[in-house]
Amino acid sequence: MKEQTIKDRIELYFNELSKAQQKVANFVLKNPTFIGVHSAAEVGDKAGTSETTVIRFCYAIGLEGYTQLQKEITLFVFNHTSESTLGNYVSSKKELFNDQCLVEKGMNKDSSKIIRIAKQIDKKLFNDATHKLHEAKNIYIVGAGASEFGAQWLHFTMNILRPNVRLIQTQTAELIRTLQEIDEQAVVIVISLHRYFKEPIQIAKALHERGITILAVTDSKLAPINNYCSYAFILEQPELSTIDLMPSLISFLNILVTGMMTFDPVYYNNQRVKYDDFQYSFISDRWS
């Protein structure tokens, strides 16, 4: 028998609700991610009712209160996505298939997403986080699944500009030793995108509990990683497509590195020059 979801429950009780409670029900169904991170009073305001009506709505559909509604909605968002990441990616591209301006319009869409996400970033939080990266003795980066691509890019780029940057491999025998070595002078960057692989979250949780600075990059206010980090940067987009998020992710990671460099441009430029000089001499010697 299919397990009843919060959506099923709301639809089952909908006709028994008062008009005001139906407003709440419609708002909850249309804005599930809003529920998980906002109070009952805020939901009531957005739904055009009141906090009291929201609480009564919870009781009317058989819940113990608003906290249970938040919990049920969070589980629903994570476990009942209507389409796969790949499905959302393909669907979002259909309108461009026969367009003569495919390149221009497609890249304009990516640009618009990047600009919209940029406006969401808290400037003070960004400044504090990048300053922490600059001061860190060691930087560790972790990402799994689709998030691994971003982690690898960030590792490659940071490794050119500063020493002691390591990519944490979640599937190797060295993982436990690496976790033991990480101390309070380090910053751990965790990239955790839908579908939120468990290993990076478990690593973040263990290190966060030890007082290690965790900088998280994710795509939802409801993402599990938000519970185990010192800094969280949320790159939200309307459609659930990790593939479509990649241009925005790389753009943000690029700016994250740039932000770190602003605290000592001369030092980072010298690091880059030394890297280039060694790279060129190594390649020259290797192939001569």
Q: Which residue ranges form the domains of the chain, and what is each CATH number? A: 6-79 (1.10.10.10), 108-260 (3.40.50.10490)
Q: Check residue 189 and give its pLDDT.
A: 98
Answer with the residue of higher pLDDT: 155 or 26.
155
Can you tell me the distance from the alpha carbon of 256 to that of 250, in angstroms, rounded to the nearest whole number? 10
Task: Encode pLDDT of 219-257 as tens digits.
Answer: 887 788 988 999 999 998 766 567 888 999 999 999 999
The pLDDT of residue 6 is above 70: yes
Q: Check residue 99 and give its pLDDT.
A: 62
Q: Check residue 236 and give its pLDDT.
A: 84
Q: Render 184-234 in DSSP notation, one character per residue.
A: TTEEEEEEE-TT--HHHHHHHHHHHHTT-EEEEEES-TT-GGGGG-SEEEE
The pTM score is 0.69
Summary mean pLDDT of the chain: 87
Task: Encode pLDDT of 138-151 as tens digits.
Answer: 999 999 988 999 99
The pLDDT of residue 14 is above 80: yes
Neighbours of 117 (CB within 10 A): 20
How far, rounded to the nearest angstrom, does the alpha carbon of residue 277 sit from its chain's CA centroid?
36
Task: Encode pLDDT of 33-59 as tens digits.
Answer: 788 778 999 999 999 999 999 999 999
Token pair for residue 233? 């940067």
Q: Is 33 exposed, middle or buried (0-12, 13-18, 19+ CB in 10 A)?
A: middle
